[in-house]
Amino acid sequence: MEIKILGTGCPKCKSLEKLTREVVEQNGIDATVTKVEDIYQIMKYGVMTTPALVVNEKVEIKGRIPSADEIKQILTR
């Protein structure tokens, strides 16, 4: 699974990245987590509010930080 965190470097984006990594680690999910900071790349996903969570190139969450449970649900679906 390929997970991307979109964000230009705001505090919220960092906490989403941290949270996602924790969820991946705790549940032993086989995934790579990358942070996308380049605005040009972010625009390609049509995201207007950061942070956003992208799983396998699909935007799952944007503009907010979901709870750990919610991330887990998305990743284990």
The smaller minimum CB distance to another protein, of residues 20 and 50, is found at 50
Confirm or reject binding of residue 64 to another protein (CB under 8 A): yes
- Rounded-to-integer distance, Cα 45 and Cα 23, Å: 23
Question: How far apart are the C-alpha atoms of 66 and 3, rounded to whole Å?
Answer: 15
Rounded-to-integer distance, Cα 48 and Cα 41, Å: 12
> Which of 2, 8, 37, 73 is the binder for another protein (CB under 8 A)?
8
Structure tokens at 1: 């699974």
Looking at 8-16, 20-28, 30-38, which segment touches another protein (CB under 8 A)?
Answer: 8-16
Minimum gap (Å) between residue 5 Cβ and another protein:
14
Out of 19, 23, 36, 47, name the contact with another protein by CB under 8 A: 47
